[in-house]
Amino acid sequence: MILWIAGASLLLALVPAVLFLLNLGLYAPAPARSECDSRPAKCSVLIPARNEEANIALAVRSVLQDQEVDLELIVLDDGSTDRTAQIVREIAECDARVRLETAPAMPPGWSGKQHACHTLAHLARHPLLIFIDADVRLNPGALARISCFMKRSGAALASGVPEQQTNTLSERLLIPLIHFVLLGFLPIRAMRTSRNPAFGAGCGQLFVVQREAYLACDGHRAIRGTLHDGSKLPRVFRAAGFATDLFDATDLAVCRMYSSNREVWSGLGRSAHEGLGSPGVIGPATVLLLAGQVLPFLVAAAILLGVSASETAFWFTLLGIAASLLPRLIGVRRFRQSLLGAILHPLGVCSLLAIQWFAFFRARRNRPAAWRGRFYFQPNLNTTETYVPQN
């Protein structure tokens, strides 16, 4: 029995490991600035901001340091009750490229970020729209390189995962799994050669879209009720016949998504019921992740305790552990991830699944997910309604 379990766990560990390795060469950084057209691209950088006084100044100034593009930067104050608007206003007084706008009232059925991004897109003037979160910092030259990538790719939408800063244990365990899931379970070559919406993928921290295509497919309006734009916005473009693409944004931008263990749980859990925690996905995802990423370590423990003396089971188990850890150890160097998080990979996977199941049962009980003073209910499994507390 142990032999069969070891063999099955090895197979389920090998599949994402092999796909991860195949994808590494395809998930490439944007071209160097020296390889780009000398003519400055016209870019509108769009930042939705709600109570972001701790982040917004650094985000705005990181964008403004790029002098190689024809830039407009629009920050949308989405009902902030802190100094977010004041900070942006002070920067705008010193740099004409910055505009501060105020979000209109949010209609029923919208989520906050989708409404803010929709509003920003219709305020923008330039043909290339770059949506970034307020906790993202762009590195010098990033906008020119992103523009160059879009020209070479020919995609209507592209996205990349910035370098993720992780300080707490929860961050180190969970945040690097973004790359593991993206590269271990998405066939990037098939994504680029088809328009199948199932292959749509991205990172909500950084999206780049061609404005004409965005308007043609209705952009964020088409996903107005969702909390999971990372996968759903690319699927909207692909369903409309547009190509989408991915690039490695590790050397283009830096982001710290959450600043505490509690924020990690709340942040990853608020949209999980639309991703890995959705009804049709959570069962298979749990089996694949537990069997391929956790079971090899449990089998190894059983062998060490003398449950089985099979030499074949021992080698299957050792190879399964190596296959499960290989993508994570590569990520330490390639994506500047935590070594501790990689070593504790099985614990990270178990933590991720705990969040998915928590979100699944929360949605089943019609309990809201709270984020930045807004509560998001899911009264059924097909729609998301938004309620804004009156306070």
Q: Can you tell me the distance from the alpha carbon of 176 to that of 180, in angstroms, rounded to the nearest whole number? A: 7
Residue with the two structure tokens 């931008």: 253
| pLDDT band (50, 70, 90) for residue 172 | very high
| pLDDT band (50, 70, 90) for residue 371 | low
| 292-316: average pLDDT | 90
Token pair belonging to 175: 């945040």
pLDDT score for 199: 96
Higher pLDDT, 359 or 342: 342
Question: Which of 126-140, 202-216, 305-319 is the least confident region?
Answer: 305-319
| pLDDT band (50, 70, 90) for residue 273 | confident
pLDDT score for 210: 98
Q: Indicate the pTM of the whole model.
A: 0.92
Token pair belonging to 386: 């938004």
Q: Can you tell me the distance from the alpha carbon of 121 to that of 284, in angstroms, rounded to the nearest whole number? A: 37
- Reduce the secondary structure of the chain to three states and give it as a string: CHHHHHHHHHHHHHHHHHHHHHHHCCCCECCCHHHCCCCCCEEEEEEEECCCCCCHHHHHHHHHCCCCCEEEEEEEECCCCCCHHHHHHHHHCCCCCEEEEECCCCCCCCCHHHHHHHHHHHHCCCCEEEEECCCEEECCCHHHHHHHHHHHHCCCEEECCEEECCCCHHHHHHCCHHHHHHHHHCCHHHHHHCCCHHHCCCCCCEEEEEHHHHHHHCHHHHHCCCCCHHHHHHHHHHHCCCCEEECEEEEEEEECCCCCHHHHHHHHHHCHHHCCCCHHHHHHHHHHHHHHHHHHHHHHHHHHCCCCCCHHHHHHHHHHHHHHHHHHHHHHHHCCCCHHHHHCHHHHHHHHHHHHHHHHHHHHCCCCEEECCEEEECCCCCCCEEECCCC
pLDDT in tens, 240-265: 999 999 999 999 999 999 988 889 99
For the chain, give the number of residues: 391
pLDDT score for 307: 79
| pLDDT band (50, 70, 90) for residue 382 | very low
CB 148 within 8 A of CB 31: yes
| pLDDT band (50, 70, 90) for residue 385 | very low
Q: Report the DSSP beta bridge partners of residue 209.
A: 129, 157
**Single-letter amino acid code for the residue at 228:** H
Question: Which of 9-23, 58-72, 290-304, 369-383 is the least confident region?
Answer: 369-383
Q: Can you tell me the distance from the alpha carbon of 390 to that of 147, in angstroms, rounded to the nearest whole number? A: 41
| 356-376: average pLDDT | 79
Higher pLDDT, 314 or 369: 314
Residue 377 has pLDDT above 70, yes or no: no
Q: Report the DSSP beta bridge partners of residue 163.
A: 254
Express as a percent the part of the chain with pLDDT over 90: 79
Residue 390 has pLDDT above 80, yes or no: no
Q: Can you tell me the distance from the alpha carbon of 76 to that of 124, in angstroms, rounded to the nearest whole number? A: 11
Q: Can you tell me the distance from the alpha carbon of 147 to that of 339, in angstroms, rounded to the nearest whole number? A: 33
Residue 291 has pLDDT above 80, yes or no: yes
pLDDT score for 213: 98
pLDDT in tens, 146-161: 999 999 999 999 999 9
Residue 295 has pLDDT above 80, yes or no: yes
**Mean pLDDT over each residue of the chain, to the nearest integer:** 92
pLDDT score for 44: 98
pLDDT in tens, 215-227: 999 999 999 999 8
pLDDT score for 376: 66
pLDDT score for 305: 87
| pLDDT band (50, 70, 90) for residue 379 | very low
| pLDDT band (50, 70, 90) for residue 384 | very low
pLDDT score for 224: 94
pLDDT in tens, 27-86: 999 998 888 877 889 999 999 999 999 999 999 999 999 989 999 999 999 999 999 999
